[in-house]
Structure 1
């Protein structure tokens, strides 16, 4: 991945410079109750990051996007690889890389609250995928959907969809979509970036799965994997009813239609205007007349305009709303995220299968080797090993 190029004009004054933003960020933290250690460490890490960006002519918040953060993540990955190969003194441990990255994420999260950024790009799928694997201790602290949580959220979206279908019939598109979305996350082991759209990655396979990618008969979803190769993700039987019912309700006009199209009205109207102008050759007044006289969904279908898929950030918003409505008991910040995270579904289903059969878990997760799967779920091996050792010790005492 080449180094990022400037993403905007360096003379733009719409937002403060990154250095000015850092000053504001540290002042805001000083008003809290921290001892000062966090501010000192954050200042050191963020200053180095801003210096790294400055070398690439990136000075302001509006020049940042998901791709820039992905390049920084690649930079950290190379430093971790150098540390493991012991080829340079500039290498760092994986845990250190994630400490740096999380510090940057906190800074960008603060910036997004002040509308200096549209979103926290450090949380985007492309950027996080580019980071090195977490250490075992970090992995054990990551959220995963427990079987109980998985059941609770599925029960809620099932009941919600049933009620909506009874009341609205084929107009229950949103409720049916949300139920299918949760089912796909819960019963496939997919990564969010493999099924939802990335706003800053235009590659085929990073723009959201299409109906042509789903084979209900073979129970597979064709995705662009982390290795940049097409892979067949498993679609477990438990997800089939929700997906099949949703397809009937949504009635996609072509197989190129996104499985999870966005419901964001400005995005849909922008997509329609662009198509009608550039493909349909319509003038501005004609376009506005078409959009004023017809629902946007009908315009898209009538003119063969494929809508954009929901973004990973949009899918996070859906999960936050669903978890709040379902009244799930999930730790809120700073102890926890407050909702069932997208990648937590993958970790959760992997955890469930790893406890039953290591090989099945490896196949479901699409890991190249069983060692990779073991690294992700080593906490289970440790727990089971401790129990076996305890039983052996008790048996040895009984024989004495």
Structure 2
């Protein structure tokens, strides 16, 4: 069985690449269905891109690598594709676009495009051996039972990273990279909740509040969620991509104008209990928890401007050091991956092996929460497809 192109990994990037290839294409995946991460994403509605996709919303050791692919196939291009297939969608918040009905609409669209191209899809099939022939122009793929041997002129690796291993995620792409002499940057879970070994937030598990959160990177202003394990919510997941083990994370949970509002209320109702008034600005259970960290005793009239200012400053610069994260088990993506210095930014091909391509999450390009990583899958998949078609 010979093919022009073989793609290993039927996720977002692999399906996108296959859907736009000419020639005889084989798409292989060990899962029982293609696009499983698409199916579960966005609560089953797939946050398929972001209106504000920009290179600055991605983390990469080489901050320029991803610019080419993102510029040549943009969020507007994918939206046009979605519209052409009459998939209804809506903007939720911060430019995040979701399917109106189901993530399965995106999967069905990709299946339709692949069918039109005559792509051969092999599911529940794993590859045990991969070799390149002496001429360096074709690859041989063999299944574990030895029953099937397939040859391809070009090979695309689209198997993702290590996040969510229960869905079959593994370091397969990194093993293939090493086999062919490509480097892999350090990998770790990203877009993942923080954990604290002492269970310090167990008593307020389920409490959510708007916050500004940052580690060693941008400040993210979204929801913060306290859990029995630690901290979660969009703001925390975003900050986790910039966090390193042992480093602090900073929370700002003081609403804008809280200091001025408390001063004003002190004049109108100074005899009221301070924690009661603070609960007008923050969740009551969170205020109870904060009472164990700050001296919140007394009535409003007992609080001087200096004391109020000190509390607000403390809530704006709440420094915490997580014990770790929940790991790949719940991480939405893997940070790090195939070293981009070993890849061509326009084609996604390995510089030392022009017939070998790496796309999607396997590459050292990680987007923010909110559709950015799907856009990288579409853009990098298209970059590889365009180069393969040109060849």
The structure where helix makes up a greater share of residues is 1
The structure where strand makes up a greater share of residues is 2
Check whether TM > 0.5: no
TM-score range, shorter chain: under 0.3
TM-score (structure 1 length as normaliser): 0.25
